[in-house]
Amino acid sequence: MPPVGVGPPAGAFGRECRWRGFLFRGDWFLRPAVGSGRAVQKASSEMTAYLLRRSAAAATLLWVVVTFVFFAVYLLPGDPALIILGGLESHPSPEQVAAVHRELGLDRPIVERYVEWLARMLRGDMGHSLITGLPVSSELPVRLSRTLQLIVPATVLAACIGLPAGVLAARRRGTAVDPLVTAIALLGFSVPVFVTGPVLVAIFSLGLGLLPSEGYEPLTQSPGTSLLYLILPACTLAAAPLATTMRMTRSSVLEQLSLDYVRTARSKGLDERWVFTRHVVRNALLPVLTIIGLQVGAMFAGSVLVETIFNWPGMNLYLLQGINQRDYPVIQSVVVVAAVIFILVNLLIDLAYTFLDPRIKYG
Amino acid sequence: MGSRSAAVDAPLAPPRRRGRWYLRLAGPGIAGAVVIVLAVFAPLVTHYSPLDMDPLVRMAGPSSAHPLGTDGFGRDILSRIAYGARLSLAVSLSSVALGGVAGTALGMVAGYFGGAAETLIMRIMDGLLSFPPILLAVFVITFLGPSDVNVTLVIGLLYTPRFARLARGSTLSVRETEYVQAAQALGATAFRVLRLAVLPNVVAPLLVQASLGLGEAILLESGLSFLGLGAPPPAPSWGSMIQEASRFMNLSLWPLVWPAITISMTVLAFNLLGDGLREWLDPRLRGTM
């Protein structure tokens, strides 16, 4: 039996070090033990295989989604030619319709159009809006960046309040803090954004007259005003992820607290604060980070209601406009881009998770 | 709830149960019952039709004639909420039933038979799950057209993969048990085995999923109505009520306040019911939820 020590040997910080079969790095307290050298090697080849498999699955999924969107749009009732020729109620001559069909390539076989469409999408060419005639690929990035301007502050807000509140609720279990946090989280789950939004508008914009009730102001023109426009939509969007983050943090910390290593750490005389901050919270945050990532992925499409309420000209408002005007290239492009983002975010979370937690089986 | 000692070593103390599950379900149960009563007895609750407009009393506050006031078209809010409850409950119950039955059947077939059927079913389910829910709903409604039936179909479609995954997972473990092998050895058909041996043993987590899905279905239904993709106006739907009310917000807040409270309380009630059911059916979760 080798001598029993506590913690890594001296000089372990700042570089890698193997001790009793455990791999320690400068940030050793961040990562769980990985195992002996051979196991690490095996794990890394397994991991590469897993990464490849997971990426291939995501690529297949992308293809399925893109294909689905292409064919679904052509099943839509309504002929795009009629819109170009002046709306759904117009009655153009068959020759005019045929001419527009030829122009759009709609008279060619669907498989041919599908292959061509795929090739164009891969090049980033998303076609032209049927209404404005402008290329979708010039409008969509602008819209996407506006949606991001909503999502990033909302995520930061949700994480900065949700994580400490959840940890506090678990830490102070049995005091008034816990049920309070649980109740707020439940409210956040149950009150829909189209209630939160108008209520916030009623209070802060109609009642107190502090903030604009709707609209968007580019960040580059006047950062101050643009922030004023941002506050209400971002807070509204943050409510649901905030509730989820709080609740997940709380139950994750509670789960860690019930594990054996906590008892071990306590019984070897570690300070309770040390046990909690260094052991419990660090381990508990891993699943919570995943949840926050998933929330970000969901918010891209989930902000559709917030954008509608606050008339925020982001990606989802673009989609709704496209739907109302039967603007097929716009609908197709936005749905594809949103689904691609959703799939990529989920892929990134999976990959990040395997890096952060080597115990994950690559199955 | 009782009094609690604010122990310094709170994390060391064993998790305290907050009363019996049926006591904790009392609050949400009553709130849910109120909504159900409103929905079922809508014509008895109020003698106004949800569609009748009275231009003389637009935007009225609560009064003896209109207990919750009237909206921007002079329609009785209580009546619209009660009839809207019918719509919301009908849509959420039938969409969860639809998704639950379809998903459970697909998941059990996938888990029990395996092979190509499993691969095909689960890949389709993965595909459905790879769309953000609201996006898929908006997209499908676009070409089905906005109506309450189509909203039900879409929410059912959204729920199918969730039930299918759960059902497949449980079926995989139940498939190997001795009572399933015994049933197979007795010559039972696959349908009989699935119905009598597998289904009763996979149903508990599905019930929890269903109860949690009810609240979310109400949110989705009213969200789609809010976007103008639900039951077309003037049908009374909570979502479109809020949408209309928020346009007249500077004139009167009553048309906004009542449906807002109703939706929030209903979803809260369903969520609490789901949580209670989960804790009751899955004792492992006790103490962490």
ipTM of model: 0.77
Please report which residue ranges of B25-177 form alpha helices under DSSP H: 26-40, 42-45, 77-113, 115-129, 133-144, 148-175
User: Looking at residue A132, what is its pLDDT?
Assistant: 82
Which pTM was predicted? 0.79
pLDDT confidence band for A289 (50 / 70 / 90): confident
Counting one residue from A and one from B, how many pairs have CB atoms under 8 Å apart?
151
Interface membership of A169 toward B (CB under 8 Å): no
| Domain segments of chain A as ranges | 41-122, 140-356
Of the candidate ranges A33-42, A252-261, A326-335, B269-278, the one whose mean pLDDT is the lowest = A33-42
Residue A190 predicted with pLDDT over 80: yes
Name residue A17's beta-bridge partners. A24
Strands (DSSP E) contained in A8-83 are 17-19, 22-24
Is A301 in contact with B127 (Cβ distance < 8 A)? no
Residue B2 predicted with pLDDT over 70: no
Distance CA B218, CA A243 (A): 18
User: Looking at residue B10, what is its pLDDT?
Assistant: 40
Of the candidate ranges A296-310, B67-81, B194-208, B235-249, the one whose mean pLDDT is the lowest = B67-81
Interface of A with B in 287-326 (CB under 8 A): 297-298, 300-302, 304-305, 308-309, 319-320, 323
Interface membership of A199 toward B (CB under 8 Å): yes
Distance CA B249, CA B252 (A): 5
CA-closest candidate to residue B82, choices B52, B28, B30, B43: B43
CA-closest candidate to residue B251, choices B73, B63, B79, B68: B73
User: Looking at residue A152, what is its pLDDT?
Assistant: 93
What's the whole-number average pLDDT of chain B? Answer: 81
When scoring B139, B143, B266 by the number of chain A Cβ atoms within 10 A, the one with the most, hence best to mutate, is B139
pLDDT confidence band for A165 (50 / 70 / 90): very high
Average pLDDT over residues A318-338: 84
Computed on alpha carbons and rounded to an integer, the radius of gyration of chain A in Å comes to 26
**CB neighbours (10 Å) of residue A355?**
11
Chain A closest-CA separation from residue B280 CA (Å)? 17
Q: Which of A79-93, A158-172, B133-147, B241-255 has the highest mean pLDDT?
A: A158-172
pLDDT confidence band for A3 (50 / 70 / 90): very low
User: Looking at residue A28, what is its pLDDT?
Assistant: 39
% residues pLDDT > 90 (chain B)? 16
Is B138 in contact with A339 (Cβ distance < 8 A)? no
Is B249 in contact with A198 (Cβ distance < 8 A)? yes
Which CATH code is given to the segment(s) A140-356?
1.10.3720.10
Chain A closest-CA separation from residue B101 CA (Å)? 24
Chain B closest-CA separation from residue A168 CA (Å)? 11
Phi and psi for A312 in degrees, rounded to 5?
-90, 115
The dihedral through the CA atoms of A174, B287, A184, B273 has a sign that is negative
Residue A338 predicted with pLDDT over 80: yes
Angle, helix B77-113 to helix B238-247, in steps of 10 degrees? 130
Residue A73 predicted with pLDDT over 80: no
A312 or B66, greater pLDDT: A312
Distance CA A159, CA A288 (A): 10
Residue A199 predicted with pLDDT over 80: yes
Peptide bond preceding A141 in cis form (omega within 30 of 0): no
Computed on alpha carbons and rounded to an integer, the radius of gyration of chain B in Å comes to 23
Minimal Cα distance from A266: which residue of B?
Answer: B12
Instruction: Give the three-class secondary structure for B48.
Output: coil
What's the whole-number average pLDDT of chain A? Answer: 78
Average pLDDT over residues B21-31: 70
Number of H helices, E strands in chain B: 12, 0
List of residues 6+ apart from B247 with CB closer than 8 A: B72
Average pLDDT over residues A136-153: 91
Chain B closest-CA separation from residue A298 CA (Å)? 6
pLDDT confidence band for A339 (50 / 70 / 90): confident
User: Looking at residue A358, what is its pLDDT?
Assistant: 61
Residue A95 predicted with pLDDT over 70: yes
Interface of B with A in 161-220 (CB under 8 A): 215, 219
Is A298 in contact with B5 (Cβ distance < 8 A)? no
When scoring B126, B211, B246 by the number of chain A Cβ atoms within 10 A, the one with the most, hence best to mutate, is B246
pLDDT in tens, B199-225: 888 888 888 888 888 888 998 999 999
pLDDT in tens, A16-45: 444 433 444 433 334 444 444 444 555 567
Interface membership of A258 toward B (CB under 8 Å): yes
User: Looking at residue A324, what is its pLDDT?
Assistant: 79
Residue A249 predicted with pLDDT over 50: yes
User: Looking at residue A237, what is its pLDDT?
Assistant: 93
Is B219 in contact with A276 (Cβ distance < 8 A)? no
% residues pLDDT > 70 (chain B)? 89
**A73 backbone φψ class: left, alpha, beta (φ>0; ψ -120 to 50):** alpha
Residue B289 predicted with pLDDT over 70: no
Interface membership of B115 toward A (CB under 8 Å): no
Is B135 in contact with A304 (Cβ distance < 8 A)? yes
Interface membership of B16 toward A (CB under 8 Å): yes
A55 or A79, greater pLDDT: A55
pLDDT confidence band for B283 (50 / 70 / 90): low
**Which of B10, B265, B272 lies at the smallest CB-CB distance from A175?**
B10
User: Looking at residue B208, what is its pLDDT?
Assistant: 82
Residue B52 predicted with pLDDT over 80: no
Interface of B with A in 51-70 (CB under 8 A): none
pLDDT in tens, A304-319: 899 999 999 999 999 8
pLDDT confidence band for B16 (50 / 70 / 90): very low
**Which of B10, B131, B226 lies at the smallest CB-CB distance from A305?**
B226
User: Looking at residue B139, what is its pLDDT?
Assistant: 81
Distance CA B57, CA B66 (A): 9
Q: Which of A89-93, A216-220, B229-233, B235-239 has the highest mean pLDDT?
A: B235-239
pLDDT confidence band for B56 (50 / 70 / 90): confident
Instruction: Give the three-class secondary structure for A292.
Output: helix
**Residue found under tokens 């009730």:** A213
User: Looking at residue A213, what is its pLDDT?
Assistant: 81
User: Looking at residue A2, what is its pLDDT?
Assistant: 41
Average pLDDT over residues B119-140: 83
% residues pLDDT > 70 (chain A)? 82
User: Looking at residue A30, what is its pLDDT?
Assistant: 40
Chain A closest-CA separation from residue B142 CA (Å)? 7
Residue B55 predicted with pLDDT over 70: yes
Average pLDDT over residues A346-351: 81
pLDDT in tens, A101-126: 777 777 778 888 888 888 888 888 88
